[in-house]
A and B are shown apart, each in its own frame.
Chain A
């Protein structure tokens, strides 16, 4: 129908399947995400370290070239430490990216009361959260486990089947550690933005939870002469899990199982916050 006809008409065309509706949210949210030049620049920045790692892998297999440069060849060993540091750097960058992009996913809807418009359609709250979280999941995946696996594949192809079979577990560790970090960051960012409804404040709160949480944990440990303060430090918990996943030798104040449980509890708390806040109208009893 031509747009100049101003009367209302009903719609009788085809409809998309129900399962595909949350992809609509993903598409629109992702489009909004890269509208900001700062966020796009930050996203691009996240690929510098993987490129550096790629170069390192290449150089590690071209020792003659390194010798020509006069560099010490033993510096470049591609092993679990290499991928552990890769995860640390990319994890930190992922956190910065989340602090900028995460709160902008839900808070605009909350601030302007748009949620009833989503939920008055055949579209559930779970689909809404899934659609929004998928944006962060995809973006963070692009800078964590996907480049990690590419690096692993490159190393495997250059080092041969012997190295690959010995170190195959690193690929699993890359995926598992990335997904845990992505889940924590996505849920935390969305829960905080749903709670405060203001993008800037939610971003600041996310930084505060991670940085002040660490400071607060140290203070508790020092004052109470205990190690249980670490449970408030999400970064420490995550580092403990990564240490265990990448089979690092460093001493940790808690077991990896305890860190896993604590992180899953945090995920549960964030989900509970989202369940409470992401609804068409809040019921005041």
Chain B
């Protein structure tokens, strides 16, 4: 088979070229998607950046529709979006060359061996047959299906099928990996393996990840940023780490020598407190600083052995976003 002389170029363009770091992974520009009279996505405006972005939302929020629209499966009814700097309306083919996609539902060819399946998919992405075969073996080793790679996909368990889907998504070396509910139907240990694998791929820093899930834990374990959708609208978008750091009002103290006086004094500052044994949980009132707590402790000869900021979990962020 003939090959382009240009390295890593499909369709005569440098599709594999690494996007500039400042280029957002996904840029939503007033994107709306309508099926008949039903508006599924409503005027989404956002710029998603980072190594791995989680798409969160309750069932029916529009997560999968957003992914399918980004891949060009659905046409936007209004607005547009850019994936790695390419417009989804006009550059679908280029986007698809840069993306590896792992769909939510079963997607395989039952009579094919895993290695043939992944090789075929890599060839369809533009790899020459020999390179595709090599990459298929590598991808199946990478996802942990090395021993079963010559078995027919129809004989695979659900967890193995998920891994095979992941293998076909990474075999052609995409710049962006889109994972739609990657842990669907997996038992806890298989889920752990999948999450570890996604983290390894992310930490390899060779591609960016968009992970779509309704499981908060999956997103929390693998993503730096999160876009929360609710009823087709953006409910929240943030960098998880920054979000966690931003909430420094909730404190947990481990005390020695404390009595009711200390708690009363803190409450007089306007802080809400809850005591359990020698621990005190409190929400700092506006205008109250940590040094005020230390001052009160010093005045009452109370030793603060440990002071922790309680970080917001993704669940807190999610619930806040879901509030009407």
A-to-B contact residues, CB < 8 Å? 1, 3-18, 20-21, 23-25, 28, 32, 108-109, 111-124, 279-281, 283-285
Q: How far is the CB of B173 from chain A (nearest CB, A)?
A: 3
Q: Is the CB of A20 within 8 A of B2?
A: yes
Query: Looking across the interface, which residue of chain A has its beta carbon closest to that of B93?
Result: A122
Instruction: Write out the residue numbers on chain A whose beta carbons fall within 8 Å of the beta carbon of B120.
Output: 24, 28
Kindly state the separation between the CA atoms of A28 and B124 in the bound complex, as whole angstroms.
11
Q: Is the CB of B206 within 8 A of A15?
A: no
Q: Is the CB of B10 within 8 A of A122?
A: yes
Kindly state the separation between the CA atoms of A112 and B12 in the bound complex, as whole angstroms.
32
Kindly state the separation between the CA atoms of A7 and B143 in the bound complex, as whole angstroms.
9
Query: Looking across the interface, which residue of chain B has its beta carbon closest to that of A104?
Result: B111
* A6-B142, A113-B107 known; A121+B200 contact, CB < 8 A: no
Instruction: Write out the residue numbers on chain B whose beta carbons fall within 8 Å of the beta carbon of A117.
Output: 101, 103, 107, 121, 165, 168
Q: Is the CB of A285 within 8 A of B35?
A: yes
Q: Is the CB of A114 within 8 A of B68?
A: no
Q: Does B138 contact A (CB under 8 A)?
A: yes
Interface of B is mostly: loop
Q: Is the CB of A18 within 8 A of B10?
A: yes
Kindly state the separation between the CA atoms of A122 and B98 in the bound complex, as whole angstroms.
9
Kindly state the separation between the CA atoms of A8 and B125 in the bound complex, as whole angstroms.
17
Q: Is the CB of A8 within 8 A of B207?
A: yes
Kindly state the separation between the CA atoms of A115 and B111 in the bound complex, as whole angstroms.
15
Query: Looking across the interface, which residue of chain A has its beta carbon closest to that of B161?
Result: A112
Q: Does B163 contact A (CB under 8 A)?
A: no
Instruction: Write out the residue numbers on chain B whose beta carbons fall within 8 Å of the beta carbon of A4.
Output: 141
Q: Is the CB of A109 within 8 A of B73?
A: no
Instruction: Write out the residue numbers on chain B whose beta carbons fall within 8 Å of the beta carbon of A115.
Output: 107
Q: Is the CB of A11 within 8 A of B131?
A: yes
Q: Is the CB of A108 within 8 A of B107?
A: no
Q: Is the CB of B126 within 8 A of A21?
A: yes
Q: How many A-B residue pairs have CB under 8 A?
A: 172
Q: Does B192 contact A (CB under 8 A)?
A: no
Instruction: Write out the residue numbers on chain B whose beta carbons fall within 8 Å of the beta carbon of A16.
Output: 1-4, 10, 123, 126-128
> What per-residue 1/0 map shows which CB atoms of B102-133 lie under 8 Å from chain A?
01011111111000100011011111100100
* A25-B124, A118-B124, A285-B38 known; A3+B141 contact, CB < 8 A: yes
10 A-B residue pairs with Cβ-Cβ distance under 8 Å, sorted by A, are: A7-B200, A13-B8, A18-B10, A24-B123, A114-B108, A116-B107, A119-B73, A122-B97, A283-B35, A285-B35
Kindly state the separation between the CA atoms of A23 and B7 in the bound complex, as whole angstroms.
21
Instruction: Write out the residue numbers on chain A whose beta carbons fall within 8 Å of the beta carbon of B127.
Output: 11, 13, 15-16
Q: Is the CB of A108 within 8 A of B142?
A: no
Q: How far is the CB of A111 from chain B (nearest CB, A)?
A: 8
Kindly state the separation between the CA atoms of A4 and B146 in the bound complex, as whole angstroms.
9
Contact of B11 among A18, A111, A113, A280 (CB under 8 A): A18
> What per-residue 1/0 map shows which CB atoms of B189-230 lie under 8 Å from chain A?
000000000001100101100000000000000000000000
Residues of chain B from 249 to 292 with CB closer than 8 A to chain A in the complex:
none
Instruction: Write out the residue numbers on chain A whose beta carbons fall within 8 Å of the beta carbon of B200.
Output: 7-8
What's the tally of chain B residues with a CB closer than 8 Å to chain A?
A: 66
Q: How far is the CB of A28 from chain B (nearest CB, A)?
A: 5
Q: Is the CB of A11 within 8 A of B16?
A: yes
Q: Is the CB of A280 within 8 A of B123?
A: no
Q: Does B82 contact A (CB under 8 A)?
A: no
Kindly list the 9 A-B residue pairs having the minimum CB-CB distance in the complex, ordered from nearest. A11-B173, A285-B36, A15-B126, A120-B101, A14-B3, A10-B173, A280-B73, A15-B10, A18-B11
Kindly state the separation between the CA atoms of A4 and B4 in the bound complex, as whole angstroms.
29
Q: Is the CB of A120 within 8 A of B71?
A: yes
* A8-B204, A120-B101, A280-B73 known; A114+B109 contact, CB < 8 A: yes
Kindly state the separation between the CA atoms of A122 and B142 in the bound complex, as whole angstroms.
24
Q: Does B157 contact A (CB under 8 A)?
A: no
Query: Looking across the interface, which residue of chain A has its beta carbon closest to that of B180?
Result: A116
Q: Is the CB of B123 within 8 A of A112?
A: no
Kindly state the separation between the CA atoms of A109 and B126 in the bound complex, as whole angstroms.
20
Q: Does B96 contact A (CB under 8 A)?
A: yes
Q: Does B150 contact A (CB under 8 A)?
A: no
Q: How far is the CB of A113 from chain B (nearest CB, A)?
A: 5
Kindly state the separation between the CA atoms of A8 and B38 in the bound complex, as whole angstroms.
40
Instruction: Write out the residue numbers on chain B whose beta carbons fall within 8 Å of the beta carbon of A25.
Output: 124
Q: Is the CB of B173 within 8 A of A121?
A: no
Kindly state the separation between the CA atoms of A18 and B96 in the bound complex, as whole angstroms.
13
Q: How far is the CB of B14 from chain A (nearest CB, A)?
A: 10
Q: Is the CB of A279 within 8 A of B73?
A: yes
Instruction: Write out the residue numbers on chain B whose beta carbons fall within 8 Å of the beta carbon of A21.
Output: 123-124, 126
Among A1, A121, A281: residue with most chain B CB under 10 A: A121
Q: Does B22 contact A (CB under 8 A)?
A: no
Contact of B73 among A6, A14, A108, A281 (CB under 8 A): A281
Among B10, B116, B135, B144: residue with most chain A CB under 10 A: B10
* A16-B126, A285-B36 known; A6+B7 contact, CB < 8 A: no
Contact of A121 among B121, B137, B141, B142 (CB under 8 A): B121
Q: How far is the CB of A169 from chain B (nearest CB, A)?
A: 38
Contact of B172 among A11, A112, A114, A124 (CB under 8 A): A11
